[in-house]
């Protein structure tokens, strides 16, 4: 198998949110690596930010999957009554410390950009230097399950609220941009929208997709695996399934549709 990437071409990778569906990113990364493509600049949001950070830190596929299997999503003593959210996001810092010994973007092996939503300013903001832990947690702090994270006096939450496909940091910096989008939207019947909760969730899903689809044509290669729409956002039982969907889908695309791109990058 060929390894490496031509040095005169910088490859960037944008990773969307999607919760457990985002485990497909890991499978896609594995397929890219097997085809000799190793992204050098990563931009991620929510689950994509976590996958991107692990990859940028040199974690293997096995290590990345283990991270998400062990993540204490709904640990009882993480419940909070003092913050807006069911679980105190700051309490997950101790878990991050076991996988990222140094709280710094600069300690990573690859360039990483993370987007989070500034709830007070109403803007999406990027982090790529300084402290790593809080921006990483903020980017994945899905309301109302996880509490917002305070950074420099402001409250931040899931970056996908305003930007679920953060390609912007890669534009002008990467010669080839690859996108992985895992926030799937499936067609549903009227019986799937029987109450206000169902309608609200449906509206959120459609808004996430709408704020991303206009940017799909800005990347050179886009992965949108089918089948992820049947995996729950916070369903840890779907980790392996999402991973395999991503891997099998990307492997097929790289062997067939994207063969010319693979040939131009791999050495």
**Local confidence band at 244 (pLDDT 50, 70, 90 cut-offs):** very high
51-65, pLDDT tens digit by residue? 999 999 999 999 999
Domain encompassing residue 252: 11-261
46 an active-site residue?
yes
Residue 144 placed within a domain: yes
Question: Hey, what are 176's tokens?
Answer: 């080839």
Residue 267 placed within a domain: no
**CATH classification of the domain holding 213:** 3.40.1090.10
- Environment class of 7 (CB within 10 Å of its CB; exposed 0-12, middle 13-18, buried 19+): exposed
**Local confidence band at 71 (pLDDT 50, 70, 90 cut-offs):** confident
Q: Is 244 strand, coil or helix?
A: helix
**Local confidence band at 2 (pLDDT 50, 70, 90 cut-offs):** very low
- Statement: residue 200 has pLDDT above 50: yes
Residue 4 placed within a domain: no
- Statement: residue 4 has pLDDT above 50: no
Residue 86 placed within a domain: yes
Residue of 124, 158, 180, 212 with catalytic role? 158
Residue for token pair 């990364």: 29
Q: For the chain, what is the domain count? A: 1
- Statement: residue 254 has pLDDT above 50: yes
What share of the chain in percent tops pLDDT 90? 63
pTM across the whole model: 0.88
Residue of 16, 43, 46, 212 with catalytic role? 46
Question: Hey, what are 173's tokens?
Answer: 């910096």
158 an active-site residue?
yes
- Statement: residue 5 has pLDDT above 60: no
CB atoms within 10 A of CB 258: 21
Residue 127 placed within a domain: yes
Q: Find out whether 222 and 16 touch, Cβ atoms under 8 Å.
A: no
- Statement: residue 160 has pLDDT above 60: yes
- Statement: residue 262 has pLDDT above 70: yes
Residue 5 placed within a domain: no
Q: What is the mean pLDDT of the chain?
A: 87
């Amino acid at each position: 198998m060929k390894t490496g990437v031509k040095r005169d071409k910088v490859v960037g990778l944008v990773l969307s949110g999607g919760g457990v569906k985002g485990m497909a990113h890991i499978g896609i990364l594995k397929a890219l690596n097997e085809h000799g493509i190793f992204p050098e600049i990563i931009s991620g949001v929510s689950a994509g930010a976590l996958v991107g950070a692990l990859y940028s830190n040199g974690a293997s596929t096995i290590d990345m999957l283990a991270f998400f299997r062990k993540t204490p999503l709904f640990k009882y003593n993480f419940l909070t009554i003092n913050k807006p959210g069911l679980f105190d996001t700051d309490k997950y810092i101790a878990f991050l410390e076991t996988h990222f010994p140094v709280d710094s973007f600069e300690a990573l092996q690859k360039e990483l950009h993370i987007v989070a939503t500034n709830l007070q300013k109403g803007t999406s903001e990027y982090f790529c230097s300084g402290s790593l832990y809080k921006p990483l947690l903020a980017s994945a702090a899905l309301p109302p399950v996880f509490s917002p994270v305070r950074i420099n006096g402001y409250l931040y939450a899931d970056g996908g609220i305003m930007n679920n496909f953060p390609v912007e940091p890669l534009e002008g910096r990467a010669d080839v941009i690859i996108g992985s989008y895992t926030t799937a939207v499936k067609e549903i019947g009227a019986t799937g929208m029987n109450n206000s909760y169902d309608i609200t969730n449906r509206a959120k899903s459609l808004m996430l997709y709408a704020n991303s689809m206009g940017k799909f044509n800005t990347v050179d290669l886009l992965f949108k695996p089918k089948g992820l729409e049947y995996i729950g956002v916070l369903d840890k039982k779907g980790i392996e399934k999402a991973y395999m969907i991503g891997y099998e889908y990307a492997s097929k695309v790289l062997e067939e549709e994207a063969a010319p791109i693979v040939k131009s990058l791999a050495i």
